[in-house]
Amino acid sequence: MTGKQSIRKRRSQTPVRRPGHRRTPLRRTGTGWRGRTIVAAAALIVGLLAWATLARQFAPASNTNLARFDAIIVLGTPADSDGNPTPRQLARVTEGVREYERGVAPRLIFTGGAAYNVTVEARVMAKVAEAQGVPEAGILVEPEAKDTIQNACYAVRLMKAHGWRSAEVVSSASHLPRAAIIFNRLPVEWRVHAAPPLEPESAAASTWATALEVLKTLRYLAYADWAERCEP
């Protein structure tokens, strides 16, 4: 092969570049870090909800073997806008009165202020208990608490003022795990007791109540336990 033939062959093997042709660089999109951020946030949320759910699942039902107590604490829940007891409120009071009549404790403490409207929850519940036959001497009202932390703290503070050291805590079933976690941090002997609804709840209502309590439990564990700590 002659030199000219060799040069022609090399030229024919060299790729021809068109004028103005440039290799297009690969573009980096932002979906990578955004996607990782979304996944991390979702994992964090799932982890926090799992923490609250497990805390509720393993919440103690009592810290004592007592069968009789110094008081029955009925935790507040809102009355309606006209000051009338709601079905949930009636259920809690009714169960508290039943326990009182069974001799579980010689007195009832109703705790709950005007947390959601102008009506003081504890006073409405006390009137219902009186209407159900509990004498005024067997009823104490704690009218200031605005949430479950204060329900527990202020009720125990009232007990300490009278020298009482033990209580049965009555509330709705979905509320009791969070209440138990809170009471377990207070210097009192206690057990929880569920107030059954006066009428069967729908599955949707029950699911919603439980989901809401999981969120409130998470708030307590992650924030309110230290930010809103109350000394009885």
pLDDT, tens digit, 9 for 90 and up, residues 93-121:
999 999 999 999 999 999 999 999 999 99
Residue 31 counted as domain residue: no
pLDDT, tens digit, 9 for 90 and up, residues 153-190:
999 999 999 999 999 999 999 999 999 999 999 999 99
Cα–Cα distance for residue pair 47/214, rounded to 1 Å: 13
Mean pLDDT across the chain, nearest whole number? 90
Residue 153 counted as domain residue: yes
Residue 28 counted as domain residue: no
Residue 47 counted as domain residue: no
- The candidate with the shortest Cα–Cα distance to 232, out of 149, 143, 141, 110, is 149
Total number of domains in the chain? 1
Residue 16 is predicted with a pLDDT of 53
Residue 176 is predicted with a pLDDT of 98
Residue 116 counted as domain residue: yes
Residue 24 counted as domain residue: no
Q: Which domain holds residue 216?
A: 71-227
SS3 call for 142: strand
Residue 106 counted as domain residue: yes
Residue 75's CATH number? 3.40.50.620
Residue 149 counted as domain residue: yes
End-to-end CA distance of the chain: 105
* pTM for this model (two decimals): 0.84
Cα torsion 178, 184, 186, 190: sign: positive
